[in-house]
Amino acid sequence: MNFKSFFKGFFPNYTSTNKDSFSILSGESNCSNMNNSSSDLMESLSNSPTIPENIFSNIKQNLDTMKSIYNTLINSDIVIREFNCTINKKVFSSFIMYIDGLSDTKLINDFLLKPLMRDSFSSWYSSNNSLKEYIVNTLVPENDVKTTSSFSTISSSINSGNCVLFVDTVDVAFDIDVKNFKQRSINNPENEIIIKGPQEAFVESIRTNTSLLRRIVNNENLIIENIPVGSLSQTKCAICYLQDIVNGDLVSEVRYRLNNLDIESLQSSGQLEQLIEEGNSFGIPQMLSTERPDKCAKFLFQGRVIILVNGNPYALVAPAVAMDFLTSPEDTNIKSVFANFLRFLRILAVFITLLLPGIYMAITSYHQEILPTELLFSILGSRESVPFPIILELLIMELSFELIREAGIRVPSPIGSTIGIVGGLIIGDAAVSANIVSPILVIIVAITGIASFAIPDFSFGFHLRIFRFLFIFLGFAFGFLGIGLGIFAYITILCSIKSFGVPFTSPFSPLSLSYDIGYIVPPTWKQESREHFVKPQKIKRQNKISKKWEF
């Protein structure tokens, strides 16, 4: 068989410009033209003919077009099954197409091929009846069957794991849902661990994640809109909100930003976060990322919007304010007294992470007089034999701690704890014994590192770790004056940021005087209102007297 004519069967519009383009495959080439022939072949495969927009009624044209779209000459996982569909003793040429590994072959065999290939003597079908309706209503017993007339829609369905059926004389294709690809089961959260509360986390399947939300919310007003993002990847993104609570302008803004992304591919929620947040160069997160469906359900009831990305086990919450990054799902599962104590600890952790090394640098460089005499002599005595300036000493310890933290994450889990023990104890003790760093500095760096772990959100904690170095240099250069100016500039930056139109420092700037709103957690029976800064349709959440059994 002539390969050239066989190739033209798949690419009818292809015209060869080199008579030796295919000689390498037929054994007629020599070493001198081998590279040229290979490049011509790859160029011919990449420059496929223009794909028509609508489906043909001729089965041969549809078959050639689908083979051209998926390059079946070189694609090994594309399955095309040609067969004859017999309906009331009339034979129609047909074929199905799906991707091996994404579709359930047993469903295809039992509920698609068998009903179509058997001889159907139904008197319902005749020349006056619609063959399309007969196939959908009678011959295909699958629960989710759609008809489409666009080749682009068909390609998207096949790529997602569906099977597509083409029948001769019918100018539409039948999109049949038979997805059955392997996916991770629902497990415990790995990065947002709580002691008291649900123990389920999102997975990579967007449909599984939406089912988790629906099971928790349990309300018919939960709306889930699908929006594909990426001209090549067509990644499914879901916008989730409660229709009777959320602000309509917020939903419109989220939908507008997603629909106006001109990118080729989208792989993760982290990429989407960078694409739809308002531009700033300070690394301050404007959207909350979480792997917990119960946390997302809580934000849905508050009037927020949840964004899910197919293939990623993290959801994005919009809008997000500064206080959201210091809250934990466990705060709603324990008494308000305990939750408020933990929240104040997190605020303390933020100040320690951001300012403690810089304050130490300012005191030791400019403001030794504020220290007690005994403590000052202790610090000076510990640094007496250290050969490095204090700024270099602090940077060495801070960078070493960051290296240990990163190494503990990247190494295999069985030895991750060993890295932490070796880095924290042995290396630190050896550095002090070798007079490379002073003992007081090891304590400062250790307290700062422990405080950074107390911040619930990874992105916000990472941001504080980066800004910590800025305050170190300000303290070294200008003392408390530099620290004060840095705090003023930092708060100014926070006040200037908006997350989907909501000020990042809400509800403190602008100030909200409602008792329910703020960082302090009121008792559950006192949580009567939703956050005012998101402007929900329903401000009131529950009656003033919720424990009616007491009255």
Whether residue 379 is found in the same domain as residue 496:
yes
pLDDT band for 473, please (50, 70, 90 cuts).
very high
Question: Taking CA 409 as the corner, what is the angle to CA 196 and CA 328, rounded to the nearest 5 degrees?
Answer: 25
pLDDT band for 140, please (50, 70, 90 cuts).
confident
Residue 193: what pLDDT?
Answer: 87
Residue 210: what pLDDT?
Answer: 95
Positive or negative torsion for Cα 54, 60, 65, 67: positive
State how many domains the chain has. 4
Residue 354 covered by a domain: yes
Is residue 310 within 8 Å of 527, Cβ to Cβ?
Answer: no
Whether residue 419 is found in the same domain as residue 445:
yes
Whether residue 494 is found in the same domain as residue 377:
yes
Distance between CA 422 and CA 47 in Å, rounded? Answer: 57
Whether residue 357 is found in the same domain as residue 456:
yes
Residue 87 covered by a domain: yes
Whether residue 32 is found in the same domain as residue 65:
no
Domain that residue 438 falls in: 336-503
Q: What is the pTM of this model?
A: 0.82
Q: Is the peptide bond before 522 cis (omega within 30 degrees of 0)?
A: no
Residue 520 covered by a domain: no
Average pLDDT, the chain: 83
Residue 519 covered by a domain: no
Report CA 322 to chain centroid distance, whole Å. 20
Whether residue 405 is found in the same domain as residue 495:
yes
Residue 117: what pLDDT?
Answer: 82
pLDDT band for 401, please (50, 70, 90 cuts).
confident
Positive or negative torsion for Cα 55, 56, 57, 61: negative
Residue 158: what pLDDT?
Answer: 92
Distance between CA 428 and CA 76 in Å, rounded? Answer: 55
Q: Which long-range contacts (CB under 8 A, 24 or more apart) does 424-429 make?
A: 427/400
Distance between CA 347 and CA 356 in Å, rounded? Answer: 13
* pLDDT at 374 exceeding the cut of 60: yes
Q: Answer with the one of 462, 482, 503 that is the final residue of a domain.
A: 503
What does the pLDDT look like over 205-259, one tens digit per residue?
Answer: 999 999 999 999 999 999 999 999 998 888 999 999 999 999 999 999 999 999 9
Q: Which long-range contacts (CB under 8 A, 24 or more apart) does 276-280 make?
A: 276/318, 277/499, 278/497, 278/498, 278/499, 280/493, 280/497
Distance between CA 306 and CA 299 in Å, rounded? Answer: 8
3-state helix, strand, coil in the chain (%, to 5): 50, 15, 40
Nearest to 34 by CA among 45, 43, 44, 22: 22
Residue 529 covered by a domain: no
Nearest to 345 by CA among 459, 456, 462, 464: 456
Mean pLDDT score, 338-349: 92
Residue 129: what pLDDT?
Answer: 59
Q: How many CB atoms lie within 10 A of CB 429?
A: 12
Residue 451 covered by a domain: yes
* pLDDT at 269 exceeding the cut of 50: yes
Whether residue 354 is found in the same domain as residue 392:
yes
Is residue 229 within 8 Å of 266, Cβ to Cβ?
Answer: yes
* pLDDT at 305 exceeding the cut of 90: yes
Whether residue 344 is found in the same domain as residue 449:
yes
Residue 523 covered by a domain: no
What does the pLDDT look like over 20-67, one tens digit per residue?
Answer: 433 333 344 443 444 454 445 445 444 545 778 889 999 999 999 999
Amino acid at position 180, single letter: N
Residue 527 covered by a domain: no
Burial class (CB in 10 A: 0-12, 13-18, 19+), 287: buried
Whether residue 30 is found in the same domain as residue 100:
no
Residue 413: what pLDDT?
Answer: 66
Whether residue 16 is found in the same domain as residue 73:
no
For the chain, give the percent of residues with pLDDT over 90: 45
Please give the structure tokens belonging to residue 541.
Answer: 């959440």
Is residue 108 within 8 Å of 98, Cβ to Cβ?
Answer: yes
Whether residue 146 is found in the same domain as residue 212:
no
Whether residue 280 is found in the same domain as residue 258:
yes
Burial class (CB in 10 A: 0-12, 13-18, 19+), 506: buried
